[in-house]
Structures are given as C-alpha cells and as structure tokens.
C-alpha cells in the first residue's frame, strides 16, 4: 500500500485525467536567452522531461508582452523562435506521458525598468517602452534582486504609468489571449495558467495597496472592480482556447513586491464566486505569505467559496498534502523547491524515499549548477 495514497490517486482536471495529484509548481529559473527570451532547450528540455512523472507540470512564468521582463532571462511566448523551442520541450514531456501547462505573465510594475524602458515606442506597439501598472505607484521597501538586475546589483523599481481602461481592454487582455493561443495551438501545451499572483500586473489590479484607480471597470475602490481584470483576462482566454484547459493562480496573502489588502478573505471569496461560472480546469493558490507578514487560511476561504478543482501550494510536505486531500480541503498540491531538487519526486513519494535538499543560492544563477545536476534516488 502506498504511503501517501491520496497524492497518488488520479484526478480529473479539465479535459484531462492526471496520473497523480503531485503538481510541479511554476518555477522561474532564468534559463532563457537574455536578448530575445528564447528557451534554451539544451538545458530546459532535460529539466522538464526529467519531471514528466508529475501529475501536471505548470511551466515557468512566461512573458506575453514582448521584452517586458521581470526576471531578465525568463522565456516568452510571442515569437516564432520561442514557440519552436517550447514545442521541443512540450514534445519531450509528452513522450514521457506527461501533461504540461504554461504560465502566462505580465510583470507590470515589477518589471525591470532598465530593460523595459529602452524598448522603442511606436504606434504599432503603444505599450512598448513603458512601465505599466494600475496606478502610478512604485514598489516600495523592496528592491530588484541582484540576480534579476542587468547591473548584477540590487536596483530600485521604477515609477510606472497608469494604464487607461482602453489600454487594458485593447492591449493587455489581447496579449494574454495571444499568448494562450500560441502556447496551446502552436507550441502544443496542454493548457495555460493565468498568473494573477505575487504582485505582478493582474495581482496589482487585484489588491488595494497597488490599485488606487478611483473610477472605471478596474477601479480600486471596490472588491468587485479589483477582481474585474483577473476575471476579464481569464474569461477572454477561456473563450479563445476552451475553459477546460485554463487555470488561474492567485496569492491573496503574499506580501512579495509590497502587496497587501485590508480584507484578503472577502477579496478571495468574491473572486472565487466570480470565476466559478467559467468552469476552469483549476484554481491554484498560494496558501500563505512567502515573507511571513500576513496570516489567514486561504485553504478554508477557497474551499468554502469554490467548487472546482483546487490546487494549493506553499511549504507542504507529503504528509500534510496527503491529509488535506483526504479531508477534502484541496484536490491536489503543487510543490516547488522539492521538484527543483528531486526530478523523481513522484517516485520518492511512492516509495517514501528520502529527498535531496534544494540549494536556493542556485535558483536564479542562469548556469547548469543547481539546474540539471540533482540526482535521482540511487536504490
């Protein structure tokens, strides 16, 4: 009998049936090229292929707006070259029997100013060369980490421009739709995840610390209008590719990038009810605060407000993950650092083998060290 039987049970998720409920969380590893953000398949193909036994791989945050970088060397999904290399990775995962979604991101005010502002502005691309946000409020009390900065040293975030409602409707939303279509119909991904978390653009509209708009459909003045952009992006993507291969990720408590909301419980519950009719493949959430400043029970908030597939993430071990699935609190659990350090994480759960320890200092180094050098279990 399996030690963690609930984790190892199949799960119906959208149009797919997962082999197990051990999900690989989206993990930025900075392995794409810097100038054109093309996945480097010489390293990335093996990385994802080795983890294909996951019930679902959610591939790393991938840019929908050309060159709008928040990590310096993250991949994009807007050029033919990017799509071609992603397809090789997807094909390798599929050959191993795996399923893989792609996470779509717009960095918003968390973008790297030095790289974004040097882009040429034009009538054909009115969003280019501008740092964009719901309000002209920079990220304070946080700095761009040295490993994401072009200078190699910590830098301050820039002061963004406030997007107009028309720019949101006619610029931002279509970028996510095009990214989803490129991912699924051209690169062959099984689905996409909308990144509505961690202080990036959609999350910045979602929470009141960064959304100070006083009027309009995306105003920061009410819970419903703060939920509207996440809803509009998600619905538009569903309409384009099918709701049964679209997931959404949120982080209502996470304080990264200076994010906070005065009533995260009400905000979370309202969004859950608002997106329920979309019949998404899943809702994926960070259950706590990565910087340990805000407390709350996101698992309970979502469980009581959302009937679809629920994937929880953040600092789980196998025992707690299995227990929460057994108790009906969640349907699956996404693992991040454990998957970085253990390409055979599913097999280790099956046999209760010991785990490799991750090396956080190598997460964003852009080299092979700490990327493809973690060993599988040596029986």
Active site residues: 200
Q: What string of DSSP letters covers 247-276?
A: EEEE-TT--GGG---S-HHHHHHHHHHHHG
Q: Is 227:260 a contact under the CB 8 Å cutoff?
A: no
H or E segment and range at residue 60: strand 56-63
Strand partners, 196: 250
Among 43, 21, 24, CA closest to 32: 43
Dist CA 264 CA 49 (whole Å): 37
Among 196, 195, 176, CA closest to 184: 176
Dist CA 131 CA 114 (whole Å): 10
Q: Is 42 exposed, middle or buried (0-12, 13-18, 19+ CB in 10 A)?
A: exposed
Strand partners, 56: 23
Counting other chains too, the contacts that 290-295 makes at CB distance below 8 Å and 24 or more residues apart are 290/254, 290/255, 290/256, 290/314, 291/254, 291/255, 291/256, 293/255, 293/260, 294/253, 294/254, 294/255, 294/260, 294/264, 295/253
Q: Is 172:232 a contact under the CB 8 Å cutoff?
A: no
């Amino acid at each position: 009998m399996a030690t963690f039987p609930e984790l190892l049970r199949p799960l119906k998720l959208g149009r797919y049936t997962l082999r197990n409920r051990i999900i690989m969380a989206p993990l930025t590893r900075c392995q794409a090229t810097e100038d054109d953000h093309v996945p480097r398949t010489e390293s990335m193909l093996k990385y994802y292929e080795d983890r294909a036994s996951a019930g679902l791989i959610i591939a790393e945050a991938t840019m929908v707006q050309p060159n709008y970088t928040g990590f310096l060397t993250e991949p994009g999904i807007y050029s033919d070259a990017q799509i071609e290399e992603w397809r090789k990775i997807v094909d390798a995962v599929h050959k191993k029997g795996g399923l893989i979604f792609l996470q779509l991101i717009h960095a918003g005010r968390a973008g790297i100013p030095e790289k974004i502002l040097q882009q040429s502005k034009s009538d054909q691309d009115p969003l280019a060369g501008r740092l964009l946000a719901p309000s002209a409020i920079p990220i304070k009390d946080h700095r761009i980490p040295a490993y994401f900065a072009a200078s190699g040293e910590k830098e301050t975030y820039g002061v963004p421009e406030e997007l107009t409602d028309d720019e949101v409707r006619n610029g931002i939303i279509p970028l996510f739709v095009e990214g989803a279509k490129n991912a699924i119909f051209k690169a062959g991904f099984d689905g996409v995840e909308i990144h509505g978390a961690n202080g990036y653009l959609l999350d910045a509209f979602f929470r009141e610390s960064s959304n100070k708009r006083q009027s309009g459909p995306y105003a920061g003045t009410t819970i419903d209008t703060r939920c509207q952009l996440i809803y509009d992006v998600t619905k538009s993507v569903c309409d384009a590719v099918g709701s049964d291969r679209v997931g959404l990720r949120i982080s209502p408590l996470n304080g990264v990038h200076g994010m906070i909301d005065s009533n995260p419980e009400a905000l979370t519950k309202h969004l859950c009810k608002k997106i329920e009719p979309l019949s998404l493949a899943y809702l994926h959430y960070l259950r706590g605060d990565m910087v340990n400043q805000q407390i709350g029970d996101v698992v309970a908030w979502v469980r009581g407000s959302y009937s679809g597939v629920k994937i929880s993430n953040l600092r789980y071990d196998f025992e707690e993950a299995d227990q929460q699935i057994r108790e009906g609190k969640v349907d699956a659990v996404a693992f991040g650092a454990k998957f970085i350090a253990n390409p055979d994480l599913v097999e280790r759960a099956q046999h209760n083998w010991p785990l490799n320890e991750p090396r956080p200092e190598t997460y964003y180094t852009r080299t092979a060290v700490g990327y493809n050098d973690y060993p599988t279990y040596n029986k």
